[in-house]
Amino acid sequence: MKVLIAKNAQDAKEICNILKDEGYECAIVEKSLEIIDRVYTELPNLIILDLRLSHPSGLAILKKLKSAPSTRDIPIILSASARYTKRLARGYELGAFDYICKPYFKEEILARVRNITCTNSRVAELEQLLDRDYLTGLYNRRFFMERFVEELAWSKRYHEPLSVFMLDIDYFKKVNDTYGHECGDEILKQIAKTLTSSLRTEDIVARYGGEEFIVLLSNTNADGAITAAEKLRSAVEQRDFCYTDIHLRLTISIGVTTAYDRGGELSIDDIIGRADNALYAAKKGSRNRVVFL
Q: Which domains does the chain have, with CATH numbers?
A: 2-128 (3.40.50.2300), 141-292 (3.30.70.270)
pLDDT in tens, 4-42: 999 888 888 999 899 998 899 999 999 899 999 999 888
The pLDDT value given to residue 261: 52
Question: Number of helices (H) and strands (E), helices first, in the chain?
Answer: 10, 12
pLDDT mean over 284-290: 90
pLDDT in tens, 53-83: 888 999 999 999 998 888 888 999 998 876 7
User: Annotated active-site positions, please?
Assistant: 211
Phi first, then psi, for residue 78 (nearest 5°) are -85, 145
pTM: 0.68
C-beta neighbour count of 137 within 10 angstroms? 13
**pLDDT higher than 90, residue 121:** no
Q: How far apart are CA 237 and CA 286, in angstroms?
A: 14
Average pLDDT, the chain: 90
- What pLDDT, on the 0 to 100 scale, is given for residue 87? 86
CA dihedral of 120, 124, 130, 132, whole degrees rounded to 10: 150
